[in-house]
Chains A and B, each alone.
Chain A
Amino acid sequence: MQNNWYRLDTAALIFPAITRRDWSNAFRVSACLKDEVDPALLQQAVDELRARFPSYYVTLHRGAFWYYLEQSRQPVRVRSDYAYPLTFMSSRELRRNCLRVLLYKNRVAAEFFHALTDGYGGSVYLCNLIARYLELKEGVSIPREGLIRDLGETPPEEELEDSFLKHAAEVAAGRKEASSYRLHGSREERGFKTLTTGVVETQALLDAAHRRGVTVTALLAAVMAESIIAMQNAERPRRRQRPVKITVPVDLRRLYGSRTLRNFSLVLNVGADPRYGDYTLEELCRSIYHQLCASATPQNMAGMIAANVQPQQLMPLRIAPVFVKNLVMDAVYRRSGESGGSLNISNLTSLPLPEAMCRRIERMEFIIGPQRSYPNNCSVLSFGGRTYINMIRNIRESELERRFFSRLVELGIAVEIECNRS
């Protein structure tokens, strides 16, 4: 931290550049408490967290050469939730605050502009917010364990660092990747986003994955790939098909032992090419699992980090005005950012929380918004023995959700469906 402003971390540099007038990259973490939430106490908790998590109470500004984050002078106000999650964050809003705290009945949600942090950082913030709220409301003492931090301590430098810079390899990995099948449909009006949540027993999901010798993420990615392949089969002949790739974010903190609360994850594109033949679910599971295992190694990831870090250290790019960088980054993003995947599956797994908190929380969810060029996305979070699979879309057609959840039912996993659209 320099004075009261921050440079964007390596992964965040791209987000302001690719923001559009009707799309911004954001995500949401939410928790439903067992009792109705008191807005005044929640507001107090939000205000009290400012000193411990200064990197979230910031505004986005455009410098001459780079965007930067500056400490916000305005408080983050607790607001009422809307009919759909992740409403558009305009640049005007980002100049006020890049974080939203939303309340609906017993649900507290925090929405972050992705330049601030990733899913892990977001969940740390939300859990600490809920912990502080519970302390204020019920007078209980929440132990400082798992994700819960001591609000009295000064935020350590390692929580604010750009860990990408520390872990880049000397040689960058190539970015080239075949463009994958693009999901499409008729756009919703007024930017409406339909959220379909599939609630499943975590144990049933784990059993189904372990029977196939894979992880839950690999199983879900395989079922998703199978659903997308079936949709592509119905649409075009095999020789004109494209690879189906699922973009899976990898939390690099686990690989490198970083404690940063800023962005520190990279994505892997895993899947299958349906032009080469048909795949059974078991084949997809094994293939995707091995692709994930082979790619998510510290060495391979270091090469991928270097591919992001090295260009920003090139002198011609560093001295280029920010609008030139925007054009370059936008072009790079269009070429290699989203084209390699058909859809994201971001799995936060389960969050380590103190027992005193778990007793008072009914459920927790993680939602990522649709990407700029593909309309569906999927995010997963487990809590209290149940896994919440959130599928969001900005198109009217629910074909992918239908195929995906019906397939889980076929696999013997009972799915309960909730939707924000009646």
Chain B
Amino acid sequence: MYCVKCGVKLQEGVGRCPLCQTPVWDPEPREESRSYPDTLPRQHRESDLPGAVALTVVCAIAGIVTLTVCFRLYGALRWGGYVIGALLLFYVIAVLPRWFRQPRGEVFVPIDHAATALYVLYICLKTGGHWFLSFALPVLLSSCLISTAMICLLKYVTGARLFILGGFLLLCGGFTVLVEFFEHLSFGVGMFRWSPYSLAGFGSVGLFLLIAGMIPSLRRGLEKRFFF
């Protein structure tokens, strides 16, 4: 059997030319002789254990130094609480995933948001503020929902990346309006001071991506120029 387009001889039983994908017509179809089995290797990513250990040690040393300095100087935690909180937050966001071979974004993003909420709650209580429930919590919840949804869609839905990214950018634009709304409710500042600009920016790029997703030639042109 020969490929009519490339002129190369093909293996018995193949349905298409492996080079140009031209279909092959065989008057006497035969079973394809496979040169490789179907077994795929088990996919695994490597955990970054040395990095995780090193960063854990660095965080622990920084925490111990902070506690020692605060208790020696003031006999109380004082500003050390903020530092310890920031260290814990850094640890949860940057170090914790390194302990895992396959850290899942859809699990770690909510964990990161929860850790951030706890740290912000600590600051709110420490400074005697009343803005956690009216501002920080709704903002963090919205951010958590949007980013987790985006990660899940990118991971589990194939072939609609431009639509997902476009939708995500539109949601980001809406999120900035929401942030300003909660800011208005909590702190009594004026509405629509800066969010319309970010909404316009995110919205226009998001809409462009949605349109590009619908026009194949534009999509191919974008892929050619921006592949990485």
Binding site for B on A (CB under 8 A): 21-22, 80-85, 87-88, 90-92, 104, 107, 184, 186, 190-192, 195-198, 398, 401-402, 405-406, 409-410, 414-422
Contacts and interface: CB of A to CB of B under 8 A. Distances in A.
A406 B38 contact: no
Given A405-B8, A415-B9, A417-B18, A184 B227 contact: yes
B23 to A, nearest CB: 13
B46 A196 contact: no
B11 interface: yes
Contacts of B7: 406, 409-410
Nearest to A62: B50
11 contacts: A21-B46, A22-B45, A83-B40, A85-B36, A104-B37, A398-B20, A401-B19, A405-B8, A406-B7, A417-B8, A422-B14
A414 B45 contact: no
A244 to B, nearest CB: 19
Given A417-B11, A417-B19, A402 B6 contact: yes
Interface in B29-77: 32, 34-41, 43-46
A406 B36 contact: no
A166 B95 CA distance: 46
| Interface magnitude class on chain B | 20 to 34
Nearest to A190: B43
A88 B36 CA distance: 17
Contacts of B19: 196, 398, 401-402, 405-406, 417
Contacts of B39: 80-83
A91 B46 contact: yes
Contacts, number: 90
Contacts of A198: 8
B45 A21 contact: yes
Contacts of B34: 422
A422 B7 CA distance: 19
B17 interface: yes
B10 interface: yes
B80 interface: no
Contacts of B41: 82, 87-88
Nearest to A401: B19
A197 B10 CA distance: 11
A84 B34 CA distance: 12
Given A196-B19, A402-B20, A422-B32, A81 B37 contact: yes
A397 to B, nearest CB: 11
B15 interface: yes
Contact of A409 (B6, B32, B44): B6
B31 to A, nearest CB: 11
